Amino acid sequence: MSEIRKAILVVSFGTSYEKTRKKTIDRIEECIRERFPAWKEYRAWTSGMIRQKIEKRDGIKIPDVKGALIQMAADGMTEVIVQPTHVLNGIENDQMQETVNTCRHLFSRVETGNPLLTTQEDNRRMIQIVSREMEPKSDEALVLMGHGTEHYANSIYAALDYQFKDMGYPNIFMGTVEAYPALDSLIRQVKEKNLEKVVLAPFMIVAGDHAENDLAGLEEDSWKSRFEKAGFAVTCVLKGLGEYAGVRELFLDHVLEAMKRGGMAEK
């Protein structure tokens, strides 16, 4: 009988910002290693542009999903969990899943974990995490910047915005850089609340380029500049979701759920 060798592949979009990577992606991976010490851990990043930049700048070669899976098979891994650190079941996650499906024959068992926000229970827990970590004062609005996507999964942002308010947090607003809810809508809604101050924070795993530039940048079209132009006192909290212990715990739960679905008992 052949030896069972278990591994977890942690799949992230990636970031070229080393400081935030250490606090987010690296920290998530570290927590997975600590929680599942009997499983060998691998890393893959889905952004080819970022992988190329890291290799050219730092001399570090990070594989894509297919490359990592091929390496895992060459290393003799037989049972594999693929756990994304994606926020949504969007385009990046669909492409990851397609790649995993083409490599299933390389292993005896493969199971994919859910992205951060997949079930209604995930959404509820995420709202509790945000409200616990960043609940605004009575004269403040907390405005969260999600990435946004053309994928139908983008609807989760508007649903979260509604659910924040339904769960008793009327001063928390959810928007996106590249889709809906958009910045103009957010400014209008915050104005209608007659609030004086705005706290801006990224709703992304890492506080990278979008957080540094689109959210807190000095350009006139950044969210900070636009809210200031609208008359608000603005504070930016450049902290990626991966820095919050509750978010990392949610990913750990998704890994364990995948193990159970795949019949791979935790050891």
The pair of three-digit structure tokens given for residue 170, joined into one six-digit string? 């009327």
Residue 83: enclosing H or E segment and its boundaries?
strand 79-84
3-state class of 32 per DSSP? helix
Report the distance separating Cα 12 and Cα 83, nearest Å: 9
Is 147 marked active-site? Answer: yes
Identified catalytic residue from 86, 147, 210, 254? 147
Strand pairing class (140-146; 233-236): unpaired
3-state class of 260 per DSSP? helix
- Write b or e for each residue in 178-207: b if 16 or more Cβ atoms lie within 10 A of its Cβ, otherwise e: ebebebeebbebbeeeebebbbbbbbbbbb
DSSP summary character for residue 150: S
Report the distance separating Cα 211 and Cα 123, nearest Å: 22
Residues involved in catalysis: 147
